[in-house]
Amino acid sequence: MRLVIARCSVDYEGRLTAHLPEALRLIMVKADGCVAIHADGGAYKPLNWMNAPNRLTEHDDHWTVTNPKGETLTIHLAEVLSDSRHELGVDPGLTKDGVEAHLQELLAADPTAIADGLTLVRREFPTDIGPVDLLCRDHEGHAVAIEVKRRGEIDGVEQLARYLERMDRDPVLRGVRGVFVAQVVKPQAKVLAESRGIAWVEVDYDVLRGARAADLTLF
């Protein structure tokens, strides 16, 4: 990973245009090619970014990042305070807590708890940016990628969206749809999932593990 602290301004041109005025920021270039510009605030979310695949061209006073869609991110460097590189190695990924891991196991044993007609293809299906929890097929044979969380937050939806983008490049999986599954899906996560074309499902952990019967509803 390359970390650059610089006084810079940033211009994005693509589906829209955006401008960040000159300020001191952190520019992060990851091993997978992702370029992200961060301020000293705003939690984990960058001010602007360009996901891989892309092409980074460095000039004396600016960088240009372009992707196959024709989008361009131009970083104008007024002053570079620090430029360092760090070899992080292969990340083992997030270790799920006991409930989340068991929830994934229960859903893999019976994917119809998520939706009728689902059959499991594989748990921890690998992509080049990490494994998606469950890969299933629906009753028509279409691929369905499922990400399982104990609590459904916005970052989980973002994670699944990244997996779907990578998986859709595989001709065997093309057209893959996503389902975000959690015991509780937060309202903001529901809105984001629906805007990305991702379905969401809330499941009852106690019912899945047989600790209590499912609630009966009279219509």
Sequence letter at residue 154? I
Q: Residue 88: what pLDDT?
A: 83
CA–CA gap between residue 219 and residue 206 (Å, rounded): 24
Q: Residue 51: what pLDDT?
A: 87
Q: Residue 217: what pLDDT?
A: 41
For residue 97, pLDDT beyond 80 = no
Query: What is the pTM (predicted TM-score) of this model?
Result: 0.56
The two tokens of residue 143 are 């691929």
Please state, rounded to an integer, the average pLDDT across all residues of the chain.
89
Sequence letter at residue 145? A
Q: Residue 23: what pLDDT?
A: 96
164 and 175 in contact (C-beta within 8 Å)? no
CA–CA gap between residue 178 and residue 159 (Å, rounded): 11
145 and 176 in contact (C-beta within 8 Å)? yes
> What is the percent of the chain with per-residue pLDDT over 90, rounded to a whole number?
72
Model pLDDT for residues 104-127, shown as the tens digit of each residue: 999 999 999 999 999 999 999 999
CA–CA gap between residue 26 and residue 39 (Å, rounded): 6
Q: Residue 188: what pLDDT?
A: 94
Alpha helices in the chain (DSSP H): 98-109, 154-167, 187-195, 205-208
97 vs 21, residue with greater confidence? 21
Q: Residue 206: what pLDDT?
A: 84
CA–CA gap between residue 196 and residue 158 (Å, rounded): 9
103 vs 98, residue with greater confidence? 103
Map out the domains of the chain with their CATH numbers: 2-85 (2.70.180.20), 98-208 (3.40.1350.10)
Rounded (5°) CA angle 51-169-159: 50
Q: How many helices (H) and strands (E) does the chain have?
A: 4, 12
Q: Residue 218: what pLDDT?
A: 39
> What b/e string do you get for 5-15 counting C-beta neighbours within 10 Å, with b at 16 or more?
bbebbbbbeee
Give residues with Cβ within 8 angstroms of 105, minimum separation 6.
none
Model pLDDT for residues 144-165, shown as the tens digit of each residue: 999 999 899 999 999 999 999 9
Q: Residue 213: what pLDDT?
A: 57
Model pLDDT for residues 28-42, shown as the tens digit of each residue: 999 888 999 999 987
Q: Residue 214: what pLDDT?
A: 57
